[in-house]
Amino acid sequence: MSPRKLAPLLAAVFLSSRALAQEGAPRPQYRVSVDTVSLAVSVLDGDARLVNGLPQENFQIFEDGVEQRIQFFSQGELPLRMVILIDTSGSMDQKLDLAQEAAVRFVRSLKSGDQVQVVEFNDRVLTLAEFTSAFDRVEQAIRETEATGATSLYNAIYVSLKDLHRENSEELDRRAIVVLSDGNDTKSVVGFEDVKEQARKASVVIYAISLRANENDLKKDKYRNAKYELDMLARESGGVSYAPESLGDLSGVYEQIATELKSQYSLGYVSTNPTADGSWRHLQIVSKAPGTEIRSRGGYFAPRPARLKRRAR
């Protein structure tokens, strides 16, 4: 569908959905073309506080320096599809109870219609709850986590990114990973560069929580390296990386993530560049509001050329 034909369709669906929402109906759903590039955008003021209530006219999107026409816009309305990743390696033994309670409170702050998957990682990556809006099941899965073994951090993030990227839908949504870990990777079969590449392919915002090493931890240099890598993944995906001073600060960190997710703007457009060459396209989202800055992913990969079918002999 061409951008010209898509815009009225998006507008019509958006308006009808807003009307339903005002009547107390379930959260709106927005159907779009497979060519739509969707962006989750956070706006911050000079004190790094989230800015709400900005109109569509405040935003501009540039793809490889060319301005694009925004064809979809909302704030906090799109459903969330999120993976909660919890480090359950042996080093988490004394931290896991408080980590569980903080994660449970975070889940209770989500909106009806959001879908959550719970994954723990130690020697292996194990899904404890598939994507569901039944938050009681999500809470149960979080409380089932037990600390043992090594840390397959890269495997966990890589698999979650691929799962979220593979989920095709005709309805717009937001996708995120919230990962909690207290150390470096010791078990994965994929490397950090593999994870970084997959993060660039997926339209997934990563929020990373790095618990500080214990005073008696003899591998603090490895902890710092792991935190640096999580910082990089979060930054490039448009997310945030946190390093709470203590376990007591963990609930506050999850609360900050929940607040940001509710404040995100969702922008959609169809690129004016029709070339399907799989190349990286640089994105710049601009806010016209004085003293504000944008946090979002820095680009995406264009579609790859369709494979030609062999002619039958």
Task: Check residue 105 and give its pLDDT.
Answer: 97
Residues 61 and 88 placed together within one structural domain of the fold? no
Residues 37 and 100 placed together within one structural domain of the fold? no
Task: Check residue 77 and give its pLDDT.
Answer: 83
User: CA geometry: angle at 23 spanning 43 and 17, to 5°?
Assistant: 55
Residues 39 and 85 placed together within one structural domain of the fold? no
Distance (Å, rounded) from C-alpha 160 to C-alpha 11? 32
257, 206 Cβ separation under 8 angstroms: no
Residues 232 and 94 placed together within one structural domain of the fold? yes
* 312 domain residue, yes or no: no
Distance (Å, rounded) from C-alpha 128 to C-alpha 118? 5
Residues 99 and 230 placed together within one structural domain of the fold? yes
What are the residue ranges in the chain where pLDDT is below 50? 1-25, 218, 308-309, 312-313
Distance (Å, rounded) from C-alpha 178 to C-alpha 257? 9
The 3-state secondary structure of 68-120, one letter per residue: ECCCEEEECCCCEEEEEEEECCHHHCCCHHHHHHHHHHHHHCCCCCCEEEEEE
Task: Check residue 4 and give its pLDDT.
Answer: 41
The count of structural domains within the chain is 2
Domain that holds residue 109: 80-262
Task: Give the strands of the sheet with 280-287, arranged side by side.
Answer: 66-68, 59-63, 280-287, 299-301
* 273 domain residue, yes or no: yes
Q: Which neighbouring-strand residues pair with 259?
A: none
207, 174 Cβ separation under 8 angstroms: no
Beta-sheet strands, E only, within the chain: 36-44, 59-63, 66-68, 72-75, 80-87, 115-121, 125-132, 174-181, 205-210, 241-242, 265-270, 280-287, 293-295, 299-301
Residues 31 and 104 placed together within one structural domain of the fold? no
* 313 domain residue, yes or no: no
The pTM for the full model equals 0.86
Residues 108 and 58 placed together within one structural domain of the fold? no
Task: Check residue 166 and give its pLDDT.
Answer: 78
Residues 230 and 281 placed together within one structural domain of the fold? no
Residue 97 has a CB neighbour count (10 Å cut-off) of: 14
Residues 26 and 44 placed together within one structural domain of the fold? yes
SS3 144: coil
Distance (Å, rounded) from C-alpha 247 to C-alpha 224? 18
Task: Check residue 2 and give its pLDDT.
Answer: 44
* 306 domain residue, yes or no: no
Residues 141 and 255 placed together within one structural domain of the fold? yes
Residues 175 and 280 placed together within one structural domain of the fold? no
Task: Check residue 19 and give its pLDDT.
Answer: 36
* 136 domain residue, yes or no: yes
* 64 domain residue, yes or no: yes
* 101 domain residue, yes or no: yes
* 274 domain residue, yes or no: yes
Residues 152 and 228 placed together within one structural domain of the fold? yes
According to DSSP, residue 2 is labeled -
Distance (Å, rounded) from C-alpha 119 to C-alpha 179? 9
Q: What is the CATH number of the domain that holds 215?
A: 3.40.50.410
Task: Check residue 29 and give its pLDDT.
Answer: 58
Structure tokens at 5: 């034909």
